[in-house]
Amino acid sequence: MLRYLARRLALALATTAAVVTITFALVRAAPGEPFTAGAEEHFVPPETVARLRERFGLDRPVGAQFVRYVANLARGDLGESFARHRPVADVLRDALPNTALLGLAAFLLSFALGLLVGVVQAARAGTWTDAALGGAALAFYSVPAFWLGLVLLLVFGEWLHWLPVAGMADPALRGSLSAAGRALDVARHLVLPALTLALVNGAVVARLHRAAMIEALGADFVRAARARGLGEGRVLLRHALRSALAPAVTLAGLSVPALLTGSVLVESVFGWPGMGRVAYEAIFARDYNVITAVAVVSGVLVALGNLAADLGVAAADPRVRR
Amino acid sequence: MTDHPTALPRAARERAAPPCPALVPAALALAALLLAACAERGGGGGAGAAGGTLIVVTAGDADVLFHPSGAATTSADVAGLIFSRLAELPFDANTVDEAGFRPGVARSWERDDSTTIVFHLDPRARWHDGAPVRAADVAFSFEVYRDPAVGSRFGPNLAAIDSVTVRDSLTAVYHFARRYPEQLYDATYHTKVLPRHLLDSIPRSRLAASAFARSPVGSGPFRFVRWDAGASIEVAADTGHFLGRPGLDRVIWRIVPDPAAAASALVAGEADAVEIVPQAEQRARLRAALDIRLVRYPSNGVAYIAFNLRGRGGRGAHPLFGDRDVRRALAMAIDRATVVRSLFGADSGAAGDVPIGPTAQAQWIWSDSVRQLPFDTAGARRLLESRGWRDANGDGVRERNGVPLRFELLLPTTSRARNDAAIIVQAQLRAIGADMRLLPLEFALFEQRSARKDFDAAFQSRTLDASPASVLQLFGSEGVRQSNYGSYESAAFDSLARRAIATPTRAAALPLWRAALETLNDDAPAVFVFSPPFYAAVHRRLEGVRIRPDEWLATVAEWHVPPGARIQRDR
């Protein structure tokens, strides 16, 4: 097992190193200059741009920049944001927990919705209920998340006034709320962006789970359970559902990075101060250090996720370790 | 007068927590919520007997709150309330008539001679930490803004100021290299007074990255309270401010990048104001909202199609646009009034929407009577034919010596108005046999190619300074290496603009500016297509709202919410 773990760790490290190298090279090869994002608002003299390039080491050869970046990275220093004039680590520290909260809520909600819809569809396979839920799932899967977000925002925020339309908390109430009040405030702000992501992701879960449930419901062990006189609900939930969960669990592992990266536009629509917006603004401003750091962090998270999944599978099935 | 017919329903809505569907199904998520909530700091300004709360929606976060280094619009807005100038520009943004300037940190000023202005500081002026504002702060601030290590974008605006000296603790003296009319403007407008006692020990190159830049101490009407990165920034009234207590208790910037969501935040009562509502459909939504009113104010923006008079990369003459008559013909073929009507619909129609040149209504040189090339397609055709451009092969595009009258227009994908306008202009040019091909580019690439002069024509947009000297930067010979991307050079224009800039009074300068703009229009180095109408959206409960075009929150200390119109967040 130790050898297997070492092998997987080495692979994770190699993946991360590749992400760093490729991202570093690509962002610098992309056309466009840092420090000119606001050029139409106010002219930035070339000499000012030159001074800024010098200050951030961009006047050096790309190879030398890379060596310096890797050396700093090895010490845990992600550099300084060109646009925000602060350590990139601080920028990520502010944004990452917010994205994690949104991603976690969307993840849980999408699987709760997806599994429920999949079970109902399978139980009512071939009926109007199945067709209606399948059509709805297909519709949510087909629409862009940002468009769905705008619709939800319009309906539940602007028309019905049930939920706040933007931000992560009401800044006007911050000083006056207790910790529980602030948690509730964050939860209210979380509903629409999480629901937006969950509806899109949940549609995939539902479609997959419906197929798995239908297959399970036709299996011998289900027929045997029915033959023993068990109720349909018990057959469905105790026997078929348990058997059909495996593909959904696999999908869950694959969904985590997708939820993190898929939140870019949703964060913009709802003004959610997360990694997606940080990445989007960094790309627009050619903030190389932030772009690279976001890619590194995402790469590490994916590598760790894969590592955890591999180890889990290996623990369950010793043949995999060979 | 309280003009707030729906104040009670809105207040009731804000007081009552809306039903919250149980959509966070797991204890893990709830725990994360509690952690997130507990991580937030407490404190903050509360509603007092006077004032109210203004929540401003803004598209982007601030970068830093250290004014010399701030590049983001939100940074300028926030720093504008936290820090003070020596004196404030008149409301009409007249940069040359000194009598209109209003006291700031300086309560008065006088001249020793034509190259020296002596500022007498208000002895009541205090930093938000209680320390007095002194002349040494003024001299220090000037040095910071001009220091190459700081790299302030305002530094070049101070080039005509030799030095700032301290005569006594309340007297700062500005020494200019030469005599010119905008001395007071240059001395006061570009810089804010910075606290030397808090910044002197920080290396200049690290000022923007210092803790001060994220938690500043100023001497303006509002003091810094908190900044939640990516979410909001809050400032609170300095109740003991030396120029009087601001009318509002606090101002909060709420960051909402999506324009449709920003409009929803206003309609839903989650925000009170936005600087500009750029899209007609969002303006229509806001007009229909009972609590919101739109305030039109003079635009300081101009969008124009710049012709590259030189070849790609700035070498030689451009095969098409090196010819003045071709440029004039293209300019005459564009019906800018139609473009403006198509873009802005019912919101268009003001004279300022069709620019008279590289200027806008917010600049004091604006005049409806400046001569421009007429919209005259027959004249445009004649002009092209006189230069040998004919459609010999009948494909709808003119040629000369086998070269088609075809060119590429760069435009940024980020600007919907310019993309829409370009399509209309393309059709109008097609009608005279000119084939303009559109090349939308991501903004950074658009800017890079423009700066490198790697284009035929580029759909530029500029937010103009209050000073009309920006006209010379955009089209003067001295700007060719900078923001004069089209490389237009005219000794006549340069001379007229320089004389206008050197003329001490508005009345005497206006005819010179008019002549300079007419020279430019005759040469047609660009087509000035539209000046976007500026509409701010403001909640109706706010009173005293006036908007100075160059700095929309410049008068926010005068805004207030009458007691009868206040809602929960105002109290």
Three-class DSSP category at B109: strand
Q: Is A72 on the interface with B (CB under 8 A)?
A: no
Residue of A nearest to B230 (CA): A273
**CA angle (B435 as vertex; B430, B436 as ends), nearest 5:** 105
CA gap A182, A173 in Å, rounded: 9
Lowest mean pLDDT among B18-27, B65-74, B432-441, B507-516: B18-27
**What's the complex ipTM?**
0.84
Element (H, E) at B519: helix B506-523
- pLDDT category, A322, cuts 50, 70, 90? low
* Interchain contact, A169 vs B231, CB within 8 Å: yes
Q: Which of A118-132, A304-318, B186-200 has the highest mean pLDDT?
A: B186-200
CA distance to partner chain B, nearest, from residue A206 (Å): 17
Average the pLDDT over B292-310 and give the result. Answer: 93
Nearest Cα of chain B lies from the Cα of A81 at a distance, in angstroms, of: 10
**Average pLDDT value for residue range B57-74:** 93
Cβ neighbours of B214 in A, within 8 Å: 86
Q: What are phi and psi of B539, to 5 degrees?
A: -65, 140
B18 vs B53, higher pLDDT: B53
> Any idea which of A231-240, B24-33, B270-279, B551-560 has the lowest mean pLDDT?
B24-33
CA A254 to centroid of chain Cα atoms = 10
3-class SS at A281? Answer: helix
DSSP state of B515: H
Mean pLDDT of the B263-291 span: 90
The 10 Å CB-count burial string (b at 16+, else e) for A104-123 is: bbbbbbbbbbbbebbbbbbb
- Nearest by Cα to B304 from B159, B469, B540, B464: B464
Residue B167's H or E segment, with its range, is strand B161-168
- Min Cα separation A218/chain B (Å): 31
Are B240 and B225 in contact by the 8 Å Cβ rule? The answer is no
Residue in chain B closest to A167 (alpha carbons) equals B231
Report chain A residues whose CB lies below 8 A from the CB of B230: 94-95, 98, 273-274, 277-278
The stretch A77-98 carries a mean pLDDT of 92
**DSSP state, B352?**
G
B426 — pLDDT class (breaks 50, 70, 90): very high
**Whether residue B165 has pLDDT greater than 50:** yes
Strands B102-103 and B534-539, bridge-based pairing:
unpaired
| Pick from B19, B214, B444: CB nearest A32 | B444
Exposed, middle or buried by CB within 10 Å (0-12, 13-18, 19+), for B401?
exposed
- Mention every residue, 6+ apart, whose C-beta is less than 8 A from residue B458: B305, B306, B308, B409, B410, B411, B446, B449, B450, B485, B486
Span A36-50, average pLDDT: 75
Gap between the Cα atoms of B158 and B163, Å rounded: 10
Find residue B543's DSSP bridge partners. Answer: B560
Q: Show contacts of B35-42: CB within 8 Å, 24+ apart.
A: B36/A97, B36/A98, B36/A101, B36/A183, B36/A186, B37/A179, B37/A180, B37/A182, B37/A183, B37/A185, B37/A186, B38/A179, B38/A182, B38/A183, B39/A97, B40/A169, B40/A174, B40/A182, B40/B228, B41/B226, B42/A174, B42/A175
pLDDT(B17) > 70: no
Over 60: is that where the pLDDT of B13 sits? no
What is the rounded (10 degree) CA torsion for A175, A164, B75, A34? 130
Sequence-distant (6+) residues with CB within 8 A of B31 are none
Looking at residue A317, what is its pLDDT? 59
How many residues in chain A? 322
> Which is higher by pLDDT, B418 or A15?
B418
Q: Which among B28, B53, B481 has CB closest to A172?
A: B53
3-state secondary structure of A79: coil
Q: What is the mean pLDDT of residues B137-166?
A: 94
Closest residue on chain B to A279 (Cα): B230
Reported as a pLDDT band with limits 50, 70 and 90, residue A261 is low
Test B37 with A183 for CB contact under 8 angstroms: yes
Supply the pLDDT for residue B502: 93
Q: What is the DSSP secondary structure assignment for residue B204, as one 8-state letter?
A: G
- What letter represents residue B53's amino acid? T
Amino acid identity at B195 = P
Per the prediction, chain A carries an average pLDDT of: 86
Picking from A94, A154, A180, the nearest residue to B229 by CB comes out as A94
Suggest the residue from A28, A35, A41, A115 to mutate for an interface test with chain B (most B CBs closer than 10 A). A41
The better pLDDT of the pair A6, B41 is held by: A6
Per-residue model confidence (pLDDT) at position A42: 72
pLDDT at B20: 36
Whether residue B29 and residue A101 make contact (CB cut-off 8 A), yes or no, is yes
Mean pLDDT, residues A117-138: 91
Tokens representing B397 are 């595009």
Cα A63 vs. chain centroid, distance in angstroms?
A: 32
Cβ separation B445–A112 shorter than 8 A: no
**Could A184 and B17 be called an inter-chain contact, meaning their C-beta atoms sit closer than 8 Å?**
yes
Beta bridge partners of B306: B458, B526
* CB-based contact A28:A288 (threshold 8 Å): yes
Q: How high is the pLDDT of residue B325?
A: 97
Contacts of A43 in chain B (CB under 8 A): 153, 473, 482-483
Q: What share of chain A is helix, strand, coil (3-state, %, to 5)?
A: 75, 0, 20
Cβ-Cβ contacts under 8 Å for B331 (sequence gap 6 or more): B373, B524, B527
Averaged pLDDT, A17-28: 90
A208-212, B40-44, B337-341, B370-374: lowest mean pLDDT where? B40-44
> Which has more confidence, A312 or B268?
B268
Please state, in angstroms and rounded to a whole number, the distance separating the CA atoms of residues B547 and B551.
Answer: 8
The one-letter code for the residue type at B151 is G
- The pTM (predicted TM-score) of the whole model is 0.85
Q: A136 phi and psi, to 5 degrees?
A: -65, -45
A window 175-214, beta carbon within 8 A of B: 175-176, 179-180, 182-188, 190-191, 194-195
Are A85 and B69 in contact (CB < 8 Å)?
yes
Mean pLDDT computed over B261-272: 93
Which pLDDT value is given to residue A297?
86
Pairwise CB contact (< 8 Å): A274 & B230: yes
Give the pLDDT score at B27. 44
Residues B409 and B441: beta-carbon distance below 8 Å: no
Helices (H), B353-453: 377-386, 416-430, 443-451
Q: Which residues of A touch B30 (CB under 8 A)?
A: 183, 187
CB count in 10 Å sphere of residue A2: 7
pLDDT band at A136 (very low <50, low <70, confident <90, very high): very high
Compare all CA atoms of chain A with the CA of B146 and give the residue at the minimum distance: A48
- Chain B positions touching A285 (Cβ under 8 A) are 444
Q: Touching check for A233 and chain B: CB below 8 Å?
A: no
Is the distance from CB of A104 to CB of B32 less than 8 angstroms?
Answer: yes
Nearest Cα to A145, choosing from A209, A179, A196, A188?
A196
Find the closest chain A residue to B43 by CA distance. A175
CA B320/CA B328 separation, integer angstroms: 11
| pLDDT over threshold 60, residue A165 | yes
Inter-chain residue contact B26 with A100, CB threshold 8 Å: no
* Mean pLDDT, residues B21-38 taken together: 41
- B425 or A320, higher pLDDT: B425
Q: What percent of chain B has pLDDT over 90?
A: 72
Residue A305 pLDDT class (50, 70, 90 cuts): confident
- Closest-CA residue of A relative to B156 is A45
Distance, CA of B190 to CA of A54 (rounded, Å): 25
pLDDT above 60 (res B40): no
Band (A130; pLDDT cuts 50, 70, 90): very high
| CA atoms of B251 and B571, how far apart (whole Å) | 13
What is residue A236's DSSP assignment?
I
- What average pLDDT score do residues B288-303 get? 91
Which residues does chain A have within 8 Å of residue B21's beta carbon, measured at their own beta carbons?
191
Q: Which residues, in sequence order, are CB contacts of B43 under 8 Å at separation 6+?
A: A175, B225, B226
CA separation for the pair B122, B363 (Å, rounded): 30
Per the prediction, chain B carries an average pLDDT of 88
| Across B529-540, average pLDDT | 92
CB B196 within 8 A of CB B137: yes
Task: For residue B156, list chain A residues with Cβ-Cβ distance below 8 A.
Answer: 45, 48
Regarding predicted confidence, which is higher, B117 or B20?
Answer: B117
Token look-up 């996720």 returns A305
Q: Which residues of A touch B151 (CB under 8 A)?
A: 48, 51-52, 55
* Mean pLDDT to the nearest integer, B54-58: 96
- CA–CA distance, A76 with B479 (Å, rounded to integer): 44
Residue B149 tokens, joined: 């290590």
Identify the band that residue B50 occupies on the pLDDT scale cut at 50, 70 and 90. Answer: low
Question: Is residue A153 over pLDDT 50?
Answer: yes
Tokens for A158, please give them. 């602007």
Strand order of the β-sheet with B406-412 is B435-441, B406-412, B457-463, B301-307, B526-530
Give me the torsion for CA of B274, B278, B284, B286, rounded to 10°.
-10
Mean pLDDT value across residues B324-350: 88
* Mean pLDDT of the region B280-292: 89
Q: Does A256 touch chain B (CB under 8 A)?
A: no
* Residue of chain B with shortest Cα separation from A173: B569
Task: Please compute the mean of the pLDDT values over residues B501-518 and round it to a whole number.
Answer: 94
| Spatial distance between the Cα atoms of B302 and B530, rounded to a whole number of angstroms | 6
pLDDT in tens, A32-42: 888 877 767 77
Burial class (CB in 10 A: 0-12, 13-18, 19+), A181: middle
Beta bridge pairs of residue B411 = B440
How far is B33 from chain A, CA to nearest CA, in Å?
Answer: 5
CB contact under 8 A, B228 and A185: no
Which residues on chain B are in Cβ contact (under 8 Å) with A284? 443-444
Q: Which residues contact B483 (CB under 8 A, 6 or more apart)?
A: A43, B462, B473, B474
- The pLDDT value given to residue B159: 93
Residue B505 neighbours by CB under 8 Å, 6+ apart = B96, B97, B181
Contact indicator for B192, B104 with CB cutoff of 8 Å: no
> pLDDT tier at A293 (50, 70, 90 boundaries)?
very high
- Given a cut of 80, whether residue B270 has pLDDT beyond it is yes
Q: pLDDT band at B16, cuts 50/70/90?
A: very low
Residue B26 confidence (pLDDT) above 50 = no
Q: What is the CB neighbour count within 10 angstroms for residue A159?
A: 12
CB-nearest partner of B443 from A44, A176, A284 = A284
Confidence of residue B45 (pLDDT cuts 50, 70, 90): very low
Q: Average pLDDT for residues A197-208, to the nearest whole number?
A: 90
pLDDT at residue B28, rounded to an integer: 41
Give the tokens for residue A213. Answer: 């449930």
| For B227, nearest residue in chain A (alpha carbons) | A171
